[in-house]
Structures are given as structure tokens and as C-alpha cells.
Homo-oligomer: A and B are copies of this chain.
């Protein structure tokens, strides 16, 4: 299926690289408007408390303050991505549900005045008992966080495919472990910013969002506006990772303050506020049972999970489904049962984070599989090769897999890492571990309306054919989607990448698109762009046919030259034909859209997990453990990814490296920690220990040659998948290095040190 492409497959420079490195790129925080006010949200100091009274009078009197608003000043309706679980108000009405919950907001002429005004708002609270653990939260007599959710159960999922009990009964070996996944946070470099202004009955919001379109829908719903009266614009965005994937208090507050003051209002979350807004990865208790036959073939898996949802649902509804639905992706098994309870606690809401839902469960499965291999005396790679997903198969939970190069991924990672030489032969304290990954290439269904095209693209060639503008609603959050989509536009048109510019992520000025989540844009926005470019090319070749006196079907266009396919010396510049076209026919434009086909997996009302295509990967990690201190040195990472056709190798590697970096951080160092009152202990970049350049080795990433029939030019996911196997690979490497089975994330130095100490004691006690 290897094709000879002229633009895709090349590591062209990022379309915005120059603007970014020269500091010209304007992020939302850089934006200024005449008469602009600054705004800030007053946050709750308590984890759970009844609001008795809010007195804003003194704050309002402070010179420079233009508005102080509470729940009384905004629509009372609740928002949230799941219609059945809209549980969040712009500002709290009856009570606050976590430290940092939104109580009021101030707009004033400068930031200093805003901060002074916040201190002058008096709130009387009646402190309520709080609960911070999901199991405790479900207990009889636990404080109810949302009165309409008994036992604080926010989401309850019970799915069963095949007969897992029967499978376990006939299994040679059944292993049950309970793993703990920890709470982490995305930490995008750029904070959340919302800048709103009204023109009459129409509002514009400059927002740090991954989903301009959804935010438009949410604002329209919240403020009872037609969609056409809401414009959402994404300036340059400094990372999202799932944390900018839902409408949030800041957006609504900015819109409300701007409406009341009649002036533009800019608001941002500082680093501390970002942490208390959170919406990062869920803390989760993962009881996992796997049964295998004598040869290590997986017969059934039972996942019984409890997630700490924090105080609100948000995208967490999808997380709860993903956590189960993606488990059967990289391994084949015919019996699967999934029980999930997502539970409210008095902590900040958890939601989507890179590798949405899949990361912690995959750590559990990969760790358990490694123990099963040990139990059976099998090689780590052998058990994985035996159970690996194969192309053109359907998972037990009805996910349809087309392309799948997992075998190649595993064998390539084996070779590149030197697995065979290393495994069993490494010096003391050194170990090597493996895990497999897989992820969606976009969600099969949008959440708020079925059937709607998910992506639309429009291409307009300029008057002399020397440039073209691509309009796309896709959101470039730093991952490079604008670059990839422009490459695709150029390829489809037979044009030059260098001469394409892009207008993206503006609900008014670009086109409709669902945005950057579930690793969807390369495939979905890509299809729309391919079709738009195809329409341009078709129209161009039609005109060229007349001019060159050749049938259009005998012509092709490439690198901005139209030529006769079987006599390529006969050629004309794209620009010449385009000019003629313009003179004769008016503007040369093309458009295209993408709606996913009807996909399987419409089971039990849950559609999360169905995707037109799935990526796969194998990841091997080598560690060095300091047995005295427990310190982990990550010595090597080999990631082999099946992303189908690679559109831009440098960006694919960039995504892989970034994903692995995040995975390593979450595996070893990062954790959002709370005190006994529900306050975050480390809400800053000094104490929330992200890895530095010193912590990560050079990474070896490789994209195997593949072709996904459901993807444009055969392309599929790369954005989130590389994060999926990392925690498991690290855990397995530690196991290999130390013999210690780590069932609780993060895999900290201290935990290893304690485990090694315990093990030593055990060894001492038992001299075998």
C-alpha cells in the first residue's frame, strides 16, 4: 500500500514554528482589548460547606471594581458534558463541594484591584462533613455531595461479554490483583485564559480550549443563545492534554462578567487555580482478575473498578467508559466483564487526561500479565505475542479493528532495545520491561448530536494560484494539527505545503469541527481536508483538460504542476491553470466533510470506545534501581508505534516522546496530594514533581509502516497512544530489576526502597 507522496510523509517544519520561536505567536494571555477588565473567581476554602450568605457590598464599593457577581447573576442551569449528569453551576448556589469551588467573581480595572476585591467578599459558610475517598463516600451515612446521587455514585457501568465466570472456571491459572491508580494533573505550560466581550446580543470568547465547537454549544446552552450568537476563537494554545477539553467556570464567568459590565473581561487560572480546577486523571482502585490457559492464552478478564470522580462529572463520564472499553484492545480475549463505579468525593473533579481512561487500567493489566507470565514461567514478550490483537478483528466488546501491526511493533521493539541480549542478563539493579498500547483515532459518536459531520474543511485558492487558504475548525493545541492538515491539503490538491496558510479553530471564521480530543483530528479533520483538496484538484484538472486538450482523467497534479500521467513532460504550472480557472469560473474553492460510518459497539447505551481506527504500540523500558535509596534511573525507552501512514515523521516522534515523557512522569514522580481537609499540598510546578530533562533518557521511537483503510491516506492515531503503555513498562522493568511487584502508582523511590527493605527482611527470614 506504499504510495509515492509528495508532501505527506515529510517532516516539514511546523507551520507556526517561526512565530513561536520568535515570540510573535499571541496566546490568549497576550491578548489585550480597549477598556478590558480583569476578572477572577473567588474560590471556596472549604471542601464541603453550606453557603449561608455572600456579602459583596464592600467589594463592590472598592474603587475600580466594575462588577461582583454570584450565582444570583448568572443562569441557574447546570452544565456538564453528559445531559444526565449536569451537576456543575457557574457559581455554587447552595453549597461548595471542594476546596477551590467557584463562589463568586470580580471584574475590575486591574489585577491588583481584583485581588483586593476578592478579599473583601464575605462568605458565611456552615462547614459540612467531607469525604475524600470513593469507598468511604459510598458507605452508609457518608455525607452526600450531590443530593440526587445516592451513595455518591456518579456513574455506574456493568457490562459483560461472553461468560467470564465460565472462562475462569476452565482456566489453568486465574490471578486477581488490586491495583491503585493515582490522581495526576496535566500541567500544560499555558494556563487557562478566557477573554470575553459582547457586541449586542452576541458574545465572543477567546479561550484556551481544545474544543472551540463544543464550547460554543455549551455557552449557547448556558446563556440561552442561538449558536450563531456565540463565537469561540482559539488563539495559539500552549498544550491541553485533555485539561482544556471542557467548558469551565472561567469561560462562563468571563462571559457573564463581560455581559454585566459591557466591557471585555479577561480572566485566567494561575497555577494554583489550575490545580484546584484540575480535571486530571482519576485516582482509581482497580481490581483485576485474569484467567489464562496452560499456554498463557488469556481466556477472560474481569475489571472491577472504582474511580474517585471528585466533586463533578465533566468528561469523567467518558473516562469511566474508556477505562473498561479499551482494555480488550491490544490483547484478544473472548470473555470480558466490566464493573465500574465512579464516585463523587469532596475533591476537585477528575476527567480526561492524555490516553483518556486507558492509562491506569493498562498499567494494571500489563503488570498482572507480567506476573502471570512469571507464574507460568513464560517470557514477557512471548505471552504478549501469543495474545496480541490481529488485524481485521473485532474485540469482545465490539470494537472493529482494521489495521494492526502489533506483531511488527513487538518484534521491532525487541530488536531495537536488545531485549533478547538483555533480558535475564542485566546486572543487579537493572531491569527491562515491556507493555503494549492501543488507542482510538477519534470517538465514533459526538456527544451532543448524532449524525452531524464531525469535521469540515474549506480550501480557497488565491487569484493567481500562488497560495491557498485552508479553513478548518480543528484546534492546534501545540500538537501540530495545523501543520499536518496543511500537508494533507497540499497533497490532496497537488500543491506546495509552503504556500498554504490556515485559519483554524474559530467558530465564525473557520469551519465546523469537533476539535482536539480522543486523538481524532489527523483522521477526522484529515478526511475533511483530503476531500476539500480533492475537490480543488478535480476542478483544476477539469479546467486543465480544456486548456491542455487532454481528458481530465488523464491528468494529475503534484507539487503545483499539472501533467499528463502517461506523458509527464507535458505539464503546466498549477498557478497558470488556477488563474485561468479564476478568470473563467470565479473562485477556485473546495470543501469536504467527514462523518464516521456506523460503527459497532453500540452496546448497553455506551458508545465510548468505538472509533473508525485504532493505533497500536509496543514499548520497552529499561531502568536502573539504586537499591540503597530506591531511586529509579530510566536508562532506555524504545517505542514502536503503528500509526498507519505517517503524515509528518517529526511530529509523530514529537507526540511519542511527549506521551512517553508524560507517562514516565505519572509512573514515577507525579501525584496530586491532599491534606486531611481536601487542600492540595503541591499545587505548583516546584512541588508537583514533573520530570526534568535530567530524568528522561534519549528516547527511541519508531513508527512502523502501516496503512489504515479507515484513515486518510492510511493515517491513524498518534497523539495519546504513546502514554498508554508507559506505566506498565516501567512497573515491569522495576519488577525485572528488583523482583518487586508494585501494585500502587506512582512507583516512587520511597515505595521501592520500602519494598526492597521488606523483601530483604523476608529474605533474611527465609534464606531460600
Contact = CB atoms under 8 A, between A and B. Distances in A.
A453 interface: yes
Interface in A575-612: 582-583, 586-587, 589, 591-593, 595
Contacts of A199: 18-19, 24
A35 interface: yes
Interface in A16-50: 18-19, 22-24, 26, 30, 32-35
The quantity of this chain's copies bound in the complex is 2
Interface of A: 18-19, 22-24, 26, 30, 32-35, 197, 199-200, 226-229, 231, 262, 264, 451-453, 456, 458, 460, 462-464, 466-469, 471, 499, 501, 503, 507-509, 511-512, 531, 582-583, 586-587, 589, 591-593, 595
A30 B34 contact: yes
Contact of A507 (B462, B507, B582): B462
A92 to B, nearest CB: 31
B463 A227 contact: yes
A585 to B, nearest CB: 8
B467 A226 contact: yes
A430 B431 CA distance: 106
23 contacts: A22-B262, A23-B34, A24-B33, A24-B199, A24-B264, A26-B34, A30-B34, A227-B463, A227-B464, A227-B466, A227-B467, A228-B462, A228-B464, A451-B583, A453-B582, A453-B587, A456-B463, A456-B586, A458-B589, A467-B508, A503-B509, A586-B591, A586-B593
A126 B193 CA distance: 59
Contacts of A531: 586
B460 A458 contact: yes
A483 to B, nearest CB: 14
Contact of A583 (B262, B453, B503): B453
Contact of A24 (B22, B34, B501): B34
A214 to B, nearest CB: 12
B24 A508 contact: no
B34 A456 contact: no
Contacts of A23: 34-35
Contacts of A229: 466-467, 499
Contacts of A231: 501
A30 B458 CA distance: 31
A587 B512 contact: yes
A445 to B, nearest CB: 14
A197 B26 CA distance: 14
A225 to B, nearest CB: 9
B587 A589 contact: no
Contacts of A587: 453, 456, 458, 511-512, 591, 593
A582 B35 contact: no
The CB with the most chain B CB atoms within 10 A, among A227, A231, A595, is that of: A227
A508 B200 CA distance: 28
Given A452-B583, A462-B507, A509-B509, 11 more contacts: A30-B34, A226-B466, A227-B462, A227-B463, A453-B586, A456-B463, A460-B471, A463-B512, A467-B508, A531-B586, A587-B593
A467 B586 contact: no
Contacts of A507: 462
Nearest to A580: B451
Contacts of A451: 583
Leading 5 A-B pairs by shortest Cβ distance: A228-B467, A586-B593, A228-B466, A226-B466, A463-B512
A350 B591 CA distance: 46
A732 to B, nearest CB: 46
B586 A589 contact: no
A647 to B, nearest CB: 21
A674 B507 CA distance: 53
Given A511-B587, A587-B511, A589-B589, A24 B466 contact: no
A582 B466 CA distance: 30
Nearest to A264: B24
A499 B460 contact: no
A19 B200 CA distance: 9
A666 to B, nearest CB: 34
Nearest to A500: B228
A300 B231 CA distance: 61
Contacts of A262: 22
A501 B512 CA distance: 15
A298 B466 CA distance: 53
A177 to B, nearest CB: 47
A32 B23 CA distance: 13
Contacts of A499: 226, 228-229
Contacts of A468: 228
B452 A582 contact: yes
A173 B411 CA distance: 105
A575 to B, nearest CB: 8
A35 B18 CA distance: 14
Nearest to A13: B200
Nearest to A593: B586
A156 B35 CA distance: 53
A471 B451 CA distance: 28
A591 B589 contact: yes
A499 B462 CA distance: 27
A190 to B, nearest CB: 15
A630 B406 CA distance: 97
Contact of A35 (B22, B227, B460, B512): B22
A606 to B, nearest CB: 23
Contacts of A197: 24
Contacts of A593: 582, 586-587
Contacts of A589: 458, 589, 591
A226 B576 CA distance: 13
